[in-house]
Structure 1
Amino acid sequence: MGIRSFAADLLPSALHLGTRAPSTPSQAAARPAEVASFAALTDKLGYLAKADVKKVREAYKFADEAHLGQYRASGEPYITHPIAVAGLCADWKLDAQAIMAALMHDAMEDCGITKPELIERFGAATADLVDGLTKLDKLQFNTREESQAESFRKMLLAMARDVRVILIKLADRLHNMRTMGAMAAHKRGRIARETLDIYAPIAHRLGLNQTYRELQELSFQYLHPWRHAALSKAVQRARGYRRDLVERIRGDVEKAFAAAKLKVLITGREKTVYSIYVKMREKHTGFAQVNDIFGFRVVVPELYDCYHALGVLHQLYKPVPGRFKDYIAIPKANGYQSLHTTLVNPLGTAVEFQIRTEPMHAVAEAGIAAHWMYKVKDDNGLGEAQRLGALWLQSLVDIQDETRDASEFLEHVKIDLFPDAVYVFTPKSKILALPRGATPVDFAYTIHTNVGDHTVAATVNGEPVALRTELKSGDVVEIVTAPGARPNPAWLNFVRTGRARSKIRHYLKNMELEESRALGEKLLAQALRAEGLQLPQIEDADIQTAALWQALTRWSGNRGPAELLTDIGLGKKIATIVAKRLAQLMAEQGQRPDAVTLTMGRFAAREEAGGQHGTVTIDGNEGTSVQLARCCRPIPGDSIVGYLGRGEGLTVHTAECAVARRLHERDAEHWLPVEWAEDISRPFEAAVLVLVRNGKGVLARVAAAVSAAEADITHIDMGEEHGGDSAEMRLLLSVRDRLHLADVLRTLKRAPSVLRAYRVKP
């Protein structure tokens, strides 16, 4: 029959590919295990060729000499740590280059070994792996968080090029967590939190479930030692209480499979203490209410046998409705495949069964590392893990392309390290895995950046939906695009994938810079005309003009003309000062003010009543470089002024705005004249306060009055009640200009129940 039962005491499945997880930190530190000597490591290297083992031995000697005289916090020689890390990598059957890099992973960081030395001794591939594992300690950062984020970015990008980097790093972190008992308490807490937030999710994302569970368990143990100890005791007691029940279920299952003449391998599965803790916290329940602490794994020979075994179990015990999941037909995002079903035994207890083949089991436990462990013979199920792992690694590179800030990059990566997923379909029936809570916008960016950037609408299961709608597993999603559409900043409030967030931010930043550059060029050209000169050509300039711009940017401290113009547009530099310097440089080249240009510039300056800049025209198409102040909300017809804030672009206020007057007193040189264009391209928002009598249907009557005046309500806020008889409504109305607003206010005042209606001013 070929059935192997698990031990009656149902020991937790906390094995790490042949290495038993420690139950306490002190036990981990005391355990000799792999760290005793290099001989223990060579016993694991039988899968390598003799020439490769010889190279590994050379790397060990090199690392041993480099770390000579160094000791760990526990008092052990430091070399014991690289040997242990290499041993974990050998359990994964990684190649010789990875084992060598594991032995030397701290050599560059702690011993002053340079990359050229490693290239000369061990080759470029091994040196690249070690370099990818080396933190950026030699650079100066303002904060620990900034340094940590930059180091993560370096490691993750090295991992995207070669996944062995992260496998070695995870082995390094796992051994550090196992032996962290000797460290100071504040360091233990910081490292455990970092492990729980970053390294455990990365292990899960790459399908290394054994490593994932052990990192979570050890992190929980150090972060909340009392809770961990109490739950561990509760699990031990429960194990004793349920021994008879587990034995009875095991006997029933063995007999059922024997009768069906199906060869299976049955093992026990016990929830980790951390997963029990998470379930108790999420469901606000006590330990007694967590009824699926124990479960069973059924490993079968072939894919077809998985469904045969499922039928046998469903005939034996009744399945719990809604608790069946087919991760074979639709694998998880990290390549995991199994059938999950929860059954109710005769005593009324729910027990979960996981059914899978041997290759699926390899992927479930070792994930992407199974590529090295099982890359010969049967590849059933492994290809999917590699493909999904590679997709996520590629997404890291894509995010990096749009994100130069390390902290922002790490934020995007954290977003993508999701434990749960929803599975949705394209119209052509291709399955995509997205994080829980993902929206059609996330779906669009997962398809392609151009699809996301030009999204205007979406349908789910044939029905039009809002772009912020959360997708559910099984949804068929179709995206509607338009050539002129572009990303909306509001999308950042609801997208869930790091890829979508980074693409949207990248687009908006580029648009802002382009618009700020155009504004800066316009301001500099106007300021230079006041000096009697025309702005020199920037693109395709001749040698003399290029030298002129080079001298100007060297004086201003910018990297190029584009950056200088952007700084002027953002208000970081004053256009008149830059224009005077540019005029000097042009004079040195022999260029003299033109009489006509000078006259036009002076005439314009007189028209602007001594203003420092030329007039900027506002028509509604200015984009993010020009903002309308929220304090006074100017609309066409208002008298307006512009404040060129430092790094904020141009902000337009009404001339009578009290906030603007205070700003002018404090910073007079950053103001410039602005005016409305004759043709306005869009409506503008105006703030209106409406005082109404309380009564049934009053809101509907106000809305009808606004609609009758051909305006729209973009936001409504109900103010405090006045003695119960009246109430305030604060409306944001979309209007064309002051005349249109006046018409709206007249219509509102004639509406029943409206006592007063007027525009709100600061």
Structure 2
Amino acid sequence: MIEVDDLIDRVRAYNPRTNEDLIRAAYDYGGRMHAGQFRHSGEAYFTHPVAVASILTEMRLDDATIITALLHDTIEDTRSTYGEISERFGNEVAELVDGVTKLTNLQLSSSESKQAENFRKLFMAMSKDLRVILVKLADRLHNMRTIKAMRPEKQAQKARETMDIFAPLAGRMGMQWMRDELEDLAFAVLNPDGRNSIMRRFVRLQRETGDVVKKITADIRKELKKNGIAAEVEGRAKRPYSIWRKMQEKGLSFSRLSDIYGFRILCRDEADCYRVLGAMHQRWRAVPGRFKDYISQPKTNGYRSIHTTVSGRDGRRVEIQIRTFQMHDVAETGVAAHWSYRDGVPSENPFAVDPTKWIASLTEQFENAEDHDEFLEHVKLEMYADQVFCFTPKGDVVKLPRGATPLDFAYAIHTRIGDSCVGAKVDAMRVPLWTRLKNGQSCEIITAAGQRPQSTWIDIVVTGRAKAAIRRSLREEDRERFVKLGWELARVAFEHVGKRVTDKALSTAAKQMGLVTSEELLARLGSAELTAREVVATLYPDISDATEDEIDVSRAVIGLDPDQHFERANCCQPVPGERIVGISYRGKGVIIHAIECLALEEFQDSPERWVDLHWHSGNHPAVHTVSLDVTIANDSGVLGRICTLIGEQKANISNLQFVDRKPDFFRLIIDVDLRDAEHLHAVMLAVEAESDVAAIERHRDLERKP
């Protein structure tokens, strides 16, 4: 484990003005909090936060981020609290540590609806402070470096999550070195045979050809010297996963794959970059279609560089990246360059992207997503896809993900142009609408009045914006037909359960499902966006859920860690269907409260104890006790009729207590075991309708705390 003095030396190397005392205090505090805790490898747990902090020093990040790394697991895994960290290290660090803790609890690889919800939370955390994501990425990198200590099934889960989410996210933030290492570490877990095969072929190739990287580096330096250009040259063999991906994409064997070596030339200024490009193309033949100029057209994360591939020594293809030293800083650290230090002061890199503007451009594309599928389309395209740059006839640049078509291009300009598109010209030649656009092409959209989107377009476009616009147009065009079809589907479904479909029933169902009108419900029903069973289940859960398996009581709540248990608060007695929040207790797990419970006021100053929870959707068993405060007439047979009414609603009375006896009225507390909020509503409605019941309400008792 790195000692505190060594860690401080690393920070001082790029930031002589660092607050050494605060870093030392955080190191000591984290060590005390994690004392007695161990990793799967048997090492002291605190070695992990220190390693995460060390990774962040390589990116020359500020003191607050380094301290957050040292403390990032304290709130979650120790007795430390948000308030204590805020008091000792300041609000900025406390907010960052709290943000990392919340990210740790997100299940990004869960079901699609949950995944979409958690991705929203991820981007919310990013919008507050991107340093939260930087710490989380460094945390994941160290966990992947030490993953062999985990169980095989846990290794596979973490590796898949890394490959699908964290590696693309690192790339999207401009940290390509981290993306490459995360992908390669995950590749070693998910496909060890494939990786070992590539490594063996590398060794064999080096034995046959010698050190190719050293030879080509010397060739490049010779050309630069001949042209009087001062620049640094770096060369390396590409990582095994990068080679494997190229083999899969191009369907080539290793022996036929040529560009397995990459070289980087770092120049003093932008003019030298283009001089270097000319020298390389003059010396070696450029490979057609393998040139990209990200200096004149930077990526949205601030990345700038010239990419070209040439046929180098012995006809071997060589990929060359050309950039300035400042551009290289951004290429290595991405948006993290905004917080990095150089010579003791925050780095003022002209190419670094302002994180607030970057995250605003990132989240802007998600605002119009109408459902989970559309939102995930936006996220995955934004995070995972490389971009191509195409031009309008006027020379304006349109950025699109790789694989985009002229239809995507049309919708990127304006929805009206996309809707009325009848054809396209690429580089002045008429092409089909499903043509895949390439970098640097000019695209002209041909429109016609009266043209409407076709249903086949959904399969042609790849951008979330185009898909959403096409779906919206198709829904509006076919609305009348869908409404009629939806009415027939609803009529049959209602008759199947012995009910009659009415405007009132549909309006009620629409309101419950978050739709504005019953017509909107019918339109979605007719277009297969909703099922008739879902509509019936909304109004008549007792009937529709009769054949469904009941949810296990132990997993009735979503949002808890696997080893956490929960209890319902006695004060508010929340039931499935109601909005809830959890409060964590040491030794008691999590206590669930209704969101409006007055008892929550005493926890307002302890936000670190709040747990974001919701009930599992489905058919819950009738085991959730709710106390009802009932006032009834003091007459013979009344209490018996009340008990019978409750029994008819398939609810069990678990306790009954008289609290007030008057000559004409009795007041009593009845404990009833219920399934969910709908069941509670049905029971209270049935009892209230009895003529001898004067009043009924839920009994709330703030004195009955956990």
**Shift in Å, 1:126:** 3.0
Cα separation, 2, equivalents of 1:127 and 1:411: 33
Inter-CA distance 402–292: structure 2 relative to 1 (3 Å threshold): closer
Cα separation, 1, equivalents of 2:5 and 2:88: 22
The answer to whether structure 1 residue 180 and structure 2 residue 147 are counterparts is yes
The answer to whether structure 1 residue 317 and structure 2 residue 204 are counterparts is no
Aligned match of 1:577:
none
2:137 aligns to what SS in structure 1?
helix
Moved more, 79-88 or 352-361: 352-361
Cα separation, 2, equivalents of 1:280 and 1:492: 29
Aligned match of 2:161:
194
Moved more, 424-433 or 137-146: 137-146
Matches within 5 A, 1:331-410: 331-345=298-312, 347-373=314-340, 382-383=351-352, 385-386=353-354, 390-391=357-358, 394-399=361-366, 402=369, 405=372, 409-410=375-376
Q: Which residue of 52, 57, 75 corresponds with 1:90?
A: 57
Residue 153 of structure 2 aligns with an amino acid whose one-letter code is H
The answer to whether structure 1 residue 287 and structure 2 residue 254 are counterparts is yes
Alpha-carbon displacement from aligned partner over 1:158-198 (angstroms, at most 9, x marks no partner): 11332222211111111110011100011111111111111
Alpha-carbon displacement from aligned partner over 1:307-346 (angstroms, at most 9, x marks no partner): 2223333333333444443333333454433333333346
Alpha-carbon displacement from aligned partner over 1:275-325 (angstroms, at most 9, x marks no partner): 122222333333222233234322222211122223333333333444443
Structure index of larger Rg: 1
Cα separation, 1, equivalents of 2:273 and 2:91: 45
The answer to whether structure 1 residue 44 and structure 2 residue 10 are counterparts is yes
Aligned match of 2:440:
474
The answer to whether structure 1 residue 225 and structure 2 residue 168 are counterparts is no
Inter-CA distance 54–459: structure 2 relative to 1 (3 Å threshold): farther
The answer to whether structure 1 residue 203 and structure 2 residue 90 are counterparts is no
Alpha-carbon displacement from aligned partner over 1:714-759 (angstroms, at most 9, x marks no partner): xxxxxxxxxxxxxxxxxxxxxxxxxxxxxxxxxxxxxxxxxxxxxx
Whether the 8 Å contact between 2:337 and 2:347 is mirrored in structure 1 is no
Residue 177 of structure 1 aligns with an amino acid whose one-letter code is M
Residue 75 of structure 1 aligns with an amino acid whose one-letter code is G
Inter-CA distance 403–69: structure 2 relative to 1 (3 Å threshold): farther
Q: Which residue of 9, 31, 40 corresponds with 1:64?
A: 31
Aligned match of 1:265:
232
Residue 144 of structure 2 aligns with an amino acid whose one-letter code is M
Cα separation, 2, equivalents of 1:139 and 1:292: 38
Cα separation, 2, equivalents of 1:120 and 1:64: 18
Cα separation, 2, equivalents of 1:59 and 1:419: 39
Cα separation, 2, equivalents of 1:569 and 1:68: 58
Cα separation, 2, equivalents of 1:394 and 1:303: 26
Cα separation, 2, equivalents of 1:38 and 1:366: 24
Cα separation, 2, equivalents of 1:486 and 1:303: 47
Ranges in structure 2 where 5+ consecutive residues have no aligned partner: 492-501, 537-706
Cα separation, 2, equivalents of 1:475 and 1:300: 29
Inter-CA distance 118–419: structure 2 relative to 1 (3 Å threshold): same
Q: Which residue of 356, 378, 391 corresponds with 1:425?
A: 391
Moved more, 114-123 or 90-99: 114-123
Residue 254 of structure 2 aligns with an amino acid whose one-letter code is F
2:96 aligns to what SS in structure 1?
helix
Alpha-carbon displacement from aligned partner over 1:657-682 (angstroms, at most 9, x marks no partner): xxxxxxxxxxxxxxxxxxxxxxxxxx
Cα separation, 1, equivalents of 2:513 and 2:283: 77
The answer to whether structure 1 residue 645 and structure 2 residue 508 are counterparts is no
Matches within 5 A, 1:210-609: 210-243=177-210, 246-345=213-312, 347-373=314-340, 382-383=351-352, 385-386=353-354, 390-391=357-358, 394-399=361-366, 402=369, 405=372, 409-447=375-413, 456=421, 459-460=424-425, 468-477=434-443, 491-501=457-467, 563=515, 565-566=517-518, 570=521
Cα separation, 2, equivalents of 1:181 and 1:644: 46
Aligned match of 2:73:
106
1:201 aligns to what SS in structure 2?
helix
**Shift in Å, 1:205:** 1.5
Residue 645 of structure 1 aligns with an amino acid whose one-letter code is A
2:297 aligns to what SS in structure 1?
coil
**Shift in Å, 1:382:** 1.4
Aligned match of 1:690:
none
Cα separation, 2, equivalents of 1:238 and 1:497: 41
Whether the 8 Å contact between 1:399 and 1:503 is mirrored in structure 2 is no
Aligned match of 1:76:
43
Whether the 8 Å contact between 1:193 and 1:219 is mirrored in structure 2 is yes
Whether the 8 Å contact between 1:299 and 1:356 is mirrored in structure 2 is yes
**Shift in Å, 1:222:** 1.0
Inter-CA distance 644–126: structure 2 relative to 1 (3 Å threshold): closer
Q: CA RMSD in A?
A: 4.5
2:271 aligns to what SS in structure 1?
helix
Moved more, 334-343 or 480-489: 480-489
Alpha-carbon displacement from aligned partner over 1:433-460 (angstroms, at most 9, x marks no partner): 2112213443355456x65786555644
Residue 382 of structure 1 aligns with an amino acid whose one-letter code is F
Whether the 8 Å contact between 2:300 and 2:358 is mirrored in structure 1 is no
Whether the 8 Å contact between 1:570 and 1:647 is mirrored in structure 2 is no
2:314 aligns to what SS in structure 1?
coil
Q: Using structure 2 for the length normalisation, give the TM-score.
A: 0.62
Alpha-carbon displacement from aligned partner over 1:383-433 (angstroms, at most 9, x marks no partner): 4x558x94465333541563564x764453123223432211244423232
**Shift in Å, 1:104:** 2.5
Aligned match of 1:750:
none
Residue 137 of structure 2 aligns with an amino acid whose one-letter code is L
Aligned match of 1:741:
none
Inter-CA distance 322–425: structure 2 relative to 1 (3 Å threshold): closer
Aligned match of 1:585:
none
Whether the 8 Å contact between 1:492 and 1:501 is mirrored in structure 2 is yes
Aligned match of 2:98:
131
Q: Which residue of 152, 162, 167 corresponds with 2:134?
A: 167
2:439 aligns to what SS in structure 1?
coil
Inter-CA distance 287–368: structure 2 relative to 1 (3 Å threshold): same
Identity of aligned residues (%): 40
1:36 aligns to what SS in structure 2?
coil
**Shift in Å, 1:95:** 2.0
1:423 aligns to what SS in structure 2?
strand
Cα separation, 1, equivalents of 2:80 and 2:466: 40
Residue 4 of structure 2 aligns with an amino acid whose one-letter code is F
Moved more, 173-182 or 359-368: 359-368
**Shift in Å, 1:40:** 3.0
Whether the 8 Å contact between 2:404 and 2:437 is mirrored in structure 1 is yes
Cα separation, 2, equivalents of 1:351 and 1:89: 32
Cα separation, 1, equivalents of 2:370 and 2:282: 54
